[in-house]
A and B are shown apart, each in its own frame.
Chain A
Amino acid sequence: AQSVAQPEDQVNVAEGNPLTVKCTYSVSGNPYLFWYVQYPNRGLQFLLKYITGDNLVKGSYGFEAEFNKSQTSFHLKKPSALVSDSALYFCAVRALSGGSYIPTFGRGTSLIVHP
C-alpha cells in the first residue's frame, strides 16, 4: 500500500526567511507527486507537481519542490516566506497500485509565517 508522510504538523517561519515543508512517500512504482494548499474556508488548490524529468519543479506563488528518488522525498520550498503563505499544505502521491492510480494524501502541515 502506498503512503505519504508529512512529519511536521506545524512549521513556523519568519517573514522573509526561507521555508521548507517536508514530505516523504512510499510506493511500489514510479510516483506522480503533488502539493496542494488550503486557505481558510477555501477548497484545496493545486501548487505544483512532479511527473518526470527535472527533479526541481517550480509552481505557483514562488513555491518549488525537489524530487529525491533515493530519499523518497518531495519537500516544498520557498526562498522568502510571506505572511500570506500561512495556510495548510498537503502532499499527495499517485502511483500504480492494484491496477489503479488511487491518490493518497498526507495529513497536512500548517505553515505559519510570522511578520
Chain B
Amino acid sequence: GAGVSQSPRYKVAKRGQDVALRCDPISGHVSLFWYQQALGQGPEFLTYFQNEAQLDKSGLPSDRFFAERPEGSVSTLKIQRTQQEDSAVYLCASSLEWTANTEAFFGQGTRLTVV
C-alpha cells in the first residue's frame, strides 16, 4: 500500500506477556517515529529513527520498551512484561526527510489492551 501500515490493529495481552508491534513505513521514508496515545490525549513521543539509527529514545517509559529498525525500513516496538498502564494506542509515523520541518504520515495505530 501507499501509506504507513501497522499490525496488528488490535492486541489483547495478559499482564506479564511480551508483545511486538510492527510498522511498515512509506517506502523511501528516512525518519520513523513511535508514539503512545492514551484515551483523550494527544500522541506522546516514544522514540525516533533516522534510517536504521535510533537517534532519540528519551520518551520510552521504561526499560521494558524496546524499538528497532534493523534495515532502515520496517520497525518493531516490543514491550516486555506488559502492565495495565501500557494499555494505549501505539502510533507509527514516517517522514520523507530527516529535517525537523518535514511533516509526518501516520498509520492507523495498534490498540493494545492489557488485561
A residues near B, CB below 8 A?
A: 4, 6, 32, 34, 36, 41-46, 49, 51, 90, 92, 94, 96, 98, 100-108
A42: which B residues are within 8 A, CB to CB? Answer: 108
Q: Is the CB of A105 within 8 A of B43?
A: yes
Report chain A residues within 8 Å CB of B45: 102-104
Contact call B106/A45, Cβ cutoff below 8 A: yes
Choose one: B3, B42, B105, B107; the contact of A107 (CB below 8 Å). B42
Within 8 A of A (CB), among B9-27: none
B108 smallest CB distance to A (angstroms): 5
A32 to B102, CA, bound (A): 9
* Extra A-B contacts (14), CB below 8 Å, given A90-B42, A92-B42: A36-B106, A44-B43, A44-B93, A44-B106, A45-B106, A46-B103, A46-B105, A49-B103, A51-B101, A90-B43, A94-B100, A103-B45, A104-B45, A108-B41
A103 CA to B44 CA, complexed, in Å? 8
Q: Decide yes or no whether B53 CB sits under 8 A from chain A.
A: no
Number of A-B residue pairs at CB separation under 8 A = 61
The distance in angstroms between the C-alpha atoms of A98 and B45, with both chains bound, is: 15
Q: How far is the CA of A98 from the CA of B109 in the complex (A)?
A: 28
Tell me whether B106 and A105 are in contact (CB under 8 A).
no
B91 proximal to A (CB < 8 A) = yes
CB pair B42–A106 under 8 Å, yes or no, is yes
Known: A43-B108, A49-B103. A102 touches B40 (CB 8 A): no
Contacts of A49 in B (CB 8 A): 101, 103
Does B61 reach chain A (CB closer than 8 Å)? no
* In the complex, B115 has a CB within 8 A of chain A: no
Closest 4 CB pairs of A and B: A105-B42, A101-B100, A43-B106, A44-B106
